[in-house]
């Protein structure tokens, strides 16, 4: 019987208490990884996810952390590293979503959206990256969105943030080529998670109508893309994006 793909590896998954983040955290744990994850005002589900990871026989650590706070991000990384050891895999998944007409988006709305998605991804990566460089290995996986490719009305601030993360992925991959650190992205199509709750029904219907498979994804159809990028089989992926989107965007 083969050893688990990620046995002895330590991973951080931001926004790991629910949705795609939870699915990724549990799948990586199933394949041998110890998991640290943060949540934001989601203590009950965080405790549940922590217990599920530990039930798989893995070490686990969770804490509340607003990824838009740089001091908070740095403290979370330090605490996760102290709890698990050197971090081998970073999955920047934490997300925030709300629909709004472009003309109604306030500076506060914009700052929150970009703070969670762009600032959080950038500075969590900056926290983990030097240690990976020193060891000459590491996997950074940024969860973006198919909307980074096609955009969406009523989601201009969300889609622009996801587009920024896509460009960040490519730019860092160019900078760190040959160092042993691999940087990639996953751009899921619309997925059945809590992030859909605040979206207008009209928007959901319009989004579904654009998908050739005629439905939204389930979390367990998205998480394997992150596993591939974290596992030994993902060793020749760099600066690329895997986009499980039901044919909504054909690259």
Is 158 one of the catalytic residues?
yes
**C-alpha distances in Å from residue 63, one per residue of 80, 87, 115, 118, 167:** 9, 16, 19, 20, 29
Q: Would 247 be classed as within a structural domain?
A: no
Residues 69-97 have a mean pLDDT of: 97
What is the pLDDT at residue 196?
84
- The predicted model scores a pTM of 0.96
Task: Tell whether the model's pLDDT for residue 175 goes beyond 80.
Answer: yes
User: Which residue range forms the structural domain that includes residue 172?
Assistant: 10-242
Q: Would 101 be classed as within a structural domain?
A: yes
Give the helix ranges, DSSP H, for the chain.
19-30, 43-55, 70-84, 107-114, 120-135, 147-150, 156-175, 201-209, 219-230
Residues 220-243 have a mean pLDDT of: 98
Return the CATH number at 212: 3.40.50.720
What is the pLDDT at residue 1?
44
Q: Would 248 be classed as within a structural domain?
A: no
What is the pLDDT at residue 46?
98
- List CB contacts of 186: < 8 A, sequence separation 6 or more: 141, 142, 143, 144, 222, 225, 226, 229, 241, 242, 243, 244
- List CB contacts of 129: < 8 A, sequence separation 6 or more: 138, 140, 172, 176, 181
Q: Would 119 be classed as within a structural domain?
A: yes
Q: Would 185 be classed as within a structural domain?
A: yes
Q: Would 219 be classed as within a structural domain?
A: yes
Q: Would 18 be classed as within a structural domain?
A: yes
Provide the domain count of the chain: 1
Residues 144-165 have a mean pLDDT of: 95
């Amino acid at each position: 019987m083969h050893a688990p793909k990620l046995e002895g590896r330590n991973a951080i998954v931001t926004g790991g208490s629910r949705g795609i983040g939870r699915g990724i955290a549990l799948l990586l744990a199933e394949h041998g990884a110890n998991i640290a994850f943060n949540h934001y005002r989601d203590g009950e589900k965080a405790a549940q996810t922590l217990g599920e990871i530990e039930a798989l026989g893995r070490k686990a650590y969770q804490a509340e952390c607003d990824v838009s706070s740089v001091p908070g991000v740095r403290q979370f990384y330090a605490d996760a590293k102290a709890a698990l050891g050197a971090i081998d895999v970073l999955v920047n998944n934490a997300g925030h979503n709300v629909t709004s007409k472009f003309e109604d988006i306030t500076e506060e709305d914009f700052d929150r959206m970009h703070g969670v998605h762009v600032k959080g991804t950038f500075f969590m990566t900056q926290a983990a990256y030097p240690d990976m460089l020193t060891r000459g290995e590491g996997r950074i996986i940024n969860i973006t969105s198919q909307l980074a490719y096609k955009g969406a009305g009523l989601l201009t601030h969300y889609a622009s943030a996801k587009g920024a993360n896509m460009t960040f992925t490519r730019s860092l991959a160019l900078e760190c080529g040959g160092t042993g650190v691999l940087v990639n992205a996953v751009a899921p199509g619309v997925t059945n998670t809590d992030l859909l709750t605040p979206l207008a029904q009209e928007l959901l219907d319009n989004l579904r109508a654009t998908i050739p498979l005629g439905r939204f994804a389930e979390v367990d159809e998205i998480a394997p893309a992150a596993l591939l990028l974290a596992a030994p089989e993902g060793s020749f992926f760099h600066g690329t994006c895997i986009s499980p989107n039901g044919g909504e965007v054909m690259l």
